[in-house]
Structure 1
Amino acid sequence: MSWQAFFCPQDYVLEPHDARQQCDLKERPEANRFDLKAPQQWIRLQVDRPDATPIDAQLSIGPFYLAGIEVYALQANEISFIGRAGAEQRASRAQLSLGAYVFPVHLKESRSTDLLVRITAPSVAHWHVTLEPMTAAHETQERQMLIALHLGMLVALALIAVIGFALRRSSVNFRLALFNVAILLTVATGSGFAALYWPQWPTDIAAMAFVTMVVLRTAIWGWLYQGLIRPHLQSQLYQIACYASYGLAAIAIALYWLDMGGWARFLTLILVLAIPILHTIAALATRGMASSLKTILVGSLLVYHALHIFALVLVTQYSGQSDAPITITRILDLAIPLLAMATVFLRNRATDQMLQEAEQALMQKQAQLDYESRLHEEKRLLIDMLGHEIKNPLAAISMASNNLQNLVVTENPSAQRRLANIKRAANDIDEVMERCNLANRLESEALTAQITNVLLKPMWQELIQESGQAERFIFAALTPVEIQADAQLVKTVARNLLENALKYGLPQKPISIELLPADLESGIQGGFAVSNDIEPNLRPDPDKLFSRYYRQEGQGSRRGTGLGLSLCRQLVELMHGSINYELTPNAIRFTVTFK
């Protein structure tokens, strides 16, 4: 027994007399190929047999989600109703099986019989027909086995994805698992498996669940690739486009449930074609993605797009005439999740490699920090030891020089000068050690401010007298200024600024010291300012002025450690104050305020 399908014209009306003459088209009418609504298409099945013996056969028409199917037998110019079925109409004389509806057909005594089939379905819905004797339904059994095998493979892929997410919880792995489950549910509902094994489900609800899963699967696929691309593409436009696709998917689902199938299928088709293009463009624009991951990402998108276009062409051109649309659909259902899983696997591998490299870099950095911490601690201990060990000899030298000055006669100026130089050198060494010790304590956070009331005027008067050059200072103290700070630390800051002005100011030029009164509006309780003239060609670098160990070039033999101004800033900030400077071509002014 063999059979051949012929299409009827679009405007065909069931008529027994001229059905064979009118329904002789070998291809689907052009108008029905691209109709996204659910047009009715009449097909004539010409059944030929080697003998005219009556036989019982079964006609299988699928898939399950076809909206409507009606079958009629045409013999001796008589039309007899065989049965009807479909997702949107009650079955009559038909039975649902896995992947198709089965109609029992009794072929009478004739070598040639015509069956007229009316199928209600959009052009993007593939349909297939098989006719075989009831006693040898091999094709039906083979079809059911292939569908069961297909579902089993999808179950295995979904389980692998779910287990992968359970072992490695991440957003991308969750999306991959959800995508695989969506594909499984799409095939389970579209093949009729759900309606067959849960008969309490109405066929129309099961079919609606299928089209809903088709849209959801497409949207979840886009969501998965967004998760792969987004970390490497910080584009607001891309994010907006992704959210727009999810919104269109929601609208398409709503249109399906509102029985506006034409518009819903149009939006679904747009999503199926546009989402891969969107993510392909985004993948090509990524930055910082591993080259292997980028290659497979773009490649999987291109393959996905090519397979879907190929499937659409086959469905619209060869539906009911070849099994090629079924084959490409099954390939799609398996290839797409496999491509997604391979892409996610490579992504996870690249991420693990990056994390491993980051951990190694962090370990190296930590080792370097530990080494620097040990050096810093050793330096601190060395400075502490030197400070304690040198203080006693320096004190002895200073005491000896004082005693010798008392013994040496005043008429010997050369000896007196040498003794004064010895004493000054000892004082300089003591000052350097004090500054190093102070810097050490600041670094180790061992120094705390002891807040008391500090009168600035007597402090500055004492420092000016100790300098030995009181005649160079212009001291402006219109009102007494009292602040709350650490008296010793404030005195250290003032002494450093004073010595800095004496050391780097122009010789014989006056040094101005001004006490600053409180400013209640800004919360300043008082401060002081130190100004001195400088040589224009020896102006300090403003960016390095408070840097540790900085000394401007061209200072010749002038002594200095480069710690003074750096210590001033740290000490002032320790007491919640601020130190600033104003630099002009011929002068510099330091201002210290306390809050």
Structure 2
Amino acid sequence: MRPLLPLILLLLLLASPGGAVAGGVLQLPVEARSLALGEGYLEMLEDPSSTLDIAAVSKDGAARFRPLPGNLAAGYGGSAIWLRFTLERSAEARGEWLLEVLPPYLDDLRLFEPDGAGGFRQRQAGDRQPFAAREVAYRGFVFNLQVPPGRSTYYVRLSSTSTLAAILSLWPADGYTAEVQREYLLFGIGNGLILAAGIFSLCAWLYIREPLHLNFALLAFLQLTVIFTMQGFAAQYLMPRHPAWADSLIGILVGLGTAQTYRFFDLLLQLRRHFPRISAFFRMCIVIALLTALSVPLGWYPVMAPLLMLTGLISNALAYWPCRQRWRQGGLGNWIEVIALGLYIGVSSVHLVGILGLGPVSLALINGHSLVTLVYLLLLEFGVLLRISDANRRHLQAEAEAQRERLQREEQGRFLGMIAHELRTPISIVSASLQSLEMLDSHPEEPRQRRYNRIQRAVQRMDGLLQACLAEERMMSGRWLAQVERLDLLQLSRNVLDDFSEDVRERVTIQAPLAAPYIHGDKVMLRVVLRNLLENALKYGAGEQPVRIDITPAKEGEGDGWNWRISDGGPGVPPGLAEKIFEKYYRVGESSGTPGLGLGLYLSRRIVMQHGGRLYLDTARNSGASFVCWLPLTIPDHLESEDS
């Protein structure tokens, strides 16, 4: 942002008055050229009560005029302002001149010119009068002057509910029409380009649905309407017979356009994410801008407008830090955006200082506002396009990477499924052979019984791994809930327990209410959950300590459901690992040689989450480990639809 300081100083220099002596007499030249009265030829008298007339001003108040070094910039004081200037015409100089007064949003403008008999003739203009009443069909206010030879003193009285800023110029009558045509052509080209930028951004939003494009389109359209009305074109072309409507429209559009500017910059600079306090201030400014638009029909615009301009200066200063961060991020798109914002901040700050009456105003800033708006909007559009295209490129890369990962997961899932199906037959053969041996050897000796038990535990472990592989395969293929049905948790617990040996069943006790605990879920997947939790309790429990399965009704938030609690009397889970044990491939007993893959708790939690439930370790328990699995009565609709 430091390189932008010279730009702001240059703009202040351009807005400053020239080097003529303030209050001097303007010598009308012989050649035809425009003359700026703000270059030291104006004097000013403030009328706080707005009661002075031309007689009092020209005689009694003549001594109270003070030289005005530049153009009038009185701000929102509410007083009437009298301007005085003196013209001196030689016999060779032309006498037909046009007095141009800008900006076009002055409410009441009265010119008092000498009548040749010691008095003054009054002519009136302003944006409260129909456009047809103007002496010259121009967006601003123009008076025909017939300057007599010698010295002539003219008075201009100004009053307005908007800011009292005035730029007075003299133009030769014979060359003014061509100059106006060139000016209107430039305004037309600039406004047309702003309109094209808005339409382009709107089409881009319709195509890619990027919110920043829509907000930029709204910003461009509102800025265009603000320029169109403030430059006087709405009063000339849209509402020539309704000047009050055109005048009110200026304040309304200024409020709406300012609100959209704050919103766009908030989104563009991502203030809510990186600078929440500045974002909060910008949102407050949006409220002030909307209240300013609302104040126009209520008659409070002279009160709200200065507040709106003051917050604009503050927000321009606050924008330094987001712009600095964006510049440091690097990238052509970011740099272009910062340059565009810097241009806007520099020009608008100088303009706001003049509007508030705290600094000079100039014709270059007022007439060049549309050009500056066009440039920074085009730069912003280019920067936004570059940034969004870069984001889209990264998004496409991420989608391609996600597609590759999905294909890999599917391939892994198919491989796991194939292994699981290939293992199922030999495991069944081994289990059946073991049962046959036990039937033939009904009273085995202790060494043989120990071998039978080891074979039984190995078969159970292999079967558990098989179930884990099948669950992993369903997870990778996205078939979490293949068959949802009404389940009795108590009966499901008993069925799972039947898969274990008799000595294991003797260690496990089940506590459940008399009323059947019914839920809706996938039986196969919930069997995997309970089996994994039981195997953990049996594996890590101390010796022959009992294992409890408690089934109790419970609420989670607004939902009814059941708690499936599996508790053991072992050493428990070390502190700080209550969440880590649910990570994939993590095993608490890895160093102790306890068998396992570290998939059980990970898969169990994923399965429970797909049922709309929650699986966690109860850390409030003093001894042993207690896992709580809460399941809702019915699976939420969005989970079922996602799975399908």
Q: Same fold (TM over 0.5)?
A: yes
Q: 8 Å contact 2:271–2:322 — kept in the other structure? A: no
With structure 1 as the length reference, what TM-score do the two structures score?
Answer: 0.70
Deviation of residue 158 (structure 1)? 1.7
- Structure 2 alignment gaps of length 5 or more: 1-27, 30-34, 47-51, 475-479, 634-644
Deviates more, 1:355-364 or 1:29-38: 29-38
In structure 2, C-alpha distance between the alignment counterparts of 1:393 and 1:373, rounded to whole Å:
30
Q: 8 Å contact 2:605–2:614 — kept in the other structure? A: no
- The 5 Å alignment of 1:385-464 reads 385-389=422-426, 391-392=428-429, 427=456, 429-443=458-472, 444=474
Map of 1:303 onto structure 2: 343
What is the identity, as a one-letter code, of the residue corresponding to 1:130? L
- Alignment partner of 1:42 out of 66, 83, 89: 83
Deviations, residues 17-66 of structure 1 (Å, cap 9, x unaligned) = 9799969965369997456325231323414133499x655444444333
- Alignment partner of 1:276 out of 316, 319, 324: 316
- Structure 1 alignment gaps of length 5 or more: none
Task: Describe the shift of the 1:440–1:369 C-alpha distance in structure 2 as closer, same or farther (beyond 3 A).
Answer: same
Map of 2:380 onto structure 1: 343
In structure 2, C-alpha distance between the alignment counterparts of 1:218 and 1:245, rounded to whole Å:
9
Q: Equivalent residue of 1:41, what SS?
A: strand
In structure 2, C-alpha distance between the alignment counterparts of 1:392 and 1:498, rounded to whole Å:
22
Task: Describe the shift of the 1:563–1:395 C-alpha distance in structure 2 as closer, same or farther (beyond 3 A).
Answer: farther
In structure 1, C-alpha distance between the alignment counterparts of 2:239 and 2:531, rounded to whole Å:
94
Map of 2:369 onto structure 1: 332
Deviations, residues 57-87 of structure 1 (Å, cap 9, x unaligned) = 5444444333333334437553352633222
In structure 1, C-alpha distance between the alignment counterparts of 2:498 and 2:354, rounded to whole Å:
101
- Alignment partner of 1:193 out of 229, 233, 237: 233
Q: Equivalent residue of 1:50, what SS?
A: coil
What is the identity, as a one-letter code, of the residue corresponding to 1:209? L
Deviations, residues 522-563 of structure 1 (Å, cap 9, x unaligned) = 9999999886778x9999x8778788794725757x8x5568
2:263 matched to 1:228? no
Map of 1:381 onto structure 2: 418
Map of 2:157 onto structure 1: 119
Task: Describe the shift of the 1:125–1:212 C-alpha distance in structure 2 as closer, same or farther (beyond 3 A).
Answer: farther
In structure 2, C-alpha distance between the alignment counterparts of 1:355 and 1:46, rounded to whole Å:
64
Task: Describe the shift of the 1:318–1:229 C-alpha distance in structure 2 as closer, same or farther (beyond 3 A).
Answer: closer
Deviation of residue 142 (structure 1)? 0.7
What is the identity, as a one-letter code, of the residue corresponding to 1:249? A
In structure 1, C-alpha distance between the alignment counterparts of 2:529 and 2:351, rounded to whole Å:
85
Map of 1:369 onto structure 2: 406
What is the identity, as a one-letter code, of the residue corresponding to 2:463? E
In structure 1, C-alpha distance between the alignment counterparts of 2:548 and 2:537, rounded to whole Å:
16
Deviation of residue 400 (structure 1)? 8.4
Map of 1:177 onto structure 2: 217
Task: Describe the shift of the 1:494–1:261 C-alpha distance in structure 2 as closer, same or farther (beyond 3 A).
Answer: closer
Map of 2:189 onto structure 1: 152
Task: Describe the shift of the 1:569–1:39 C-alpha distance in structure 2 as closer, same or farther (beyond 3 A).
Answer: closer
In structure 2, C-alpha distance between the alignment counterparts of 1:492 and 1:65, rounded to whole Å:
75
Count of aligned residue pairs for this structure pair = 563
Q: Equivalent residue of 2:368, what SS?
A: helix
In structure 2, C-alpha distance between the alignment counterparts of 1:93 and 1:581, rounded to whole Å:
85
What is the identity, as a one-letter code, of the residue corresponding to 1:347? V
- Alignment partner of 1:87 out of 127, 137, 145: 127
2:64 matched to 1:64? no
Deviations, residues 124-171 of structure 1 (Å, cap 9, x unaligned) = 4232232424xxx21343134213322331122122212321232444
Deviations, residues 311-354 of structure 1 (Å, cap 9, x unaligned) = 466786998xxxx8112223332223421342243234223322
In structure 2, C-alpha distance between the alignment counterparts of 1:300 and 1:379, rounded to whole Å:
56
Task: Describe the shift of the 1:264–1:14 C-alpha distance in structure 2 as closer, same or farther (beyond 3 A).
Answer: farther
Map of 2:589 onto structure 1: 552
Task: Describe the shift of the 1:385–1:38 C-alpha distance in structure 2 as closer, same or farther (beyond 3 A).
Answer: same
Q: 8 Å contact 2:88–2:150 — kept in the other structure? A: yes
With structure 2 as the length reference, what TM-score do the two structures score?
Answer: 0.65
Q: 8 Å contact 1:531–1:590 — kept in the other structure? A: no
What is the identity, as a one-letter code, of the residue corresponding to 2:315? I
Q: 8 Å contact 1:74–1:80 — kept in the other structure? A: yes
2:278 matched to 1:241? no
- Alignment partner of 1:202 out of 217, 242, 263: 242
Map of 2:8 onto structure 1: none
In structure 2, C-alpha distance between the alignment counterparts of 1:564 and 1:233, rounded to whole Å:
37
Q: 8 Å contact 1:481–1:526 — kept in the other structure? A: no
Q: Equivalent residue of 2:415, what SS?
A: helix
In structure 1, C-alpha distance between the alignment counterparts of 2:189 and 2:178, rounded to whole Å:
16
What is the identity, as a one-letter code, of the residue corresponding to 2:414? E
Deviations, residues 99-136 of structure 1 (Å, cap 9, x unaligned) = 3334344455xx32515132314664232232424xxx
In structure 1, C-alpha distance between the alignment counterparts of 2:565 and 2:393, rounded to whole Å:
55
The answer to which structure, 1 or 2, has the higher relative contact order (CA under 8 A, 6+ apart) is 2
Q: Equivalent residue of 1:163, what SS?
A: helix
In structure 2, C-alpha distance between the alignment counterparts of 1:211 and 1:203, rounded to whole Å:
13
Deviates more, 1:478-487 or 1:425-434: 478-487
Deviation of residue 270 (structure 1)? 1.7
Task: Describe the shift of the 1:511–1:579 C-alpha distance in structure 2 as closer, same or farther (beyond 3 A).
Answer: farther
Q: Equivalent residue of 2:268, what SS?
A: helix
Deviations, residues 330-388 of structure 1 (Å, cap 9, x unaligned) = 33322234213422432342233223213312321331232133123212212321331
What is the identity, as a one-letter code, of the residue corresponding to 2:415? E
Map of 2:139 onto structure 1: 99
Task: Describe the shift of the 1:184–1:112 C-alpha distance in structure 2 as closer, same or farther (beyond 3 A).
Answer: farther
Task: Describe the shift of the 1:28–1:497 C-alpha distance in structure 2 as closer, same or farther (beyond 3 A).
Answer: closer
In structure 1, C-alpha distance between the alignment counterparts of 2:378 and 2:80, rounded to whole Å:
38
What is the identity, as a one-letter code, of the residue corresponding to 1:66? L
Q: Equivalent residue of 2:165, what SS?
A: coil
Q: Equivalent residue of 1:196, what SS?
A: helix
In structure 2, C-alpha distance between the alignment counterparts of 1:570 and 1:20, rounded to whole Å:
89
Deviations, residues 477-504 of structure 1 (Å, cap 9, x unaligned) = 99999978999x9999799969986997
Task: Describe the shift of the 1:520–1:144 C-alpha distance in structure 2 as closer, same or farther (beyond 3 A).
Answer: closer
Deviation of residue 288 (structure 1)? 11
Deviation of residue 512 (structure 1)? 4.8
Map of 1:161 onto structure 2: 198
Percent identity among equivalent residues? Answer: 12
Task: Describe the shift of the 1:48–1:374 C-alpha distance in structure 2 as closer, same or farther (beyond 3 A).
Answer: same
What is the identity, as a one-letter code, of the residue corresponding to 1:7? L
- The 5 Å alignment of 1:351-366 reads 351-366=388-403
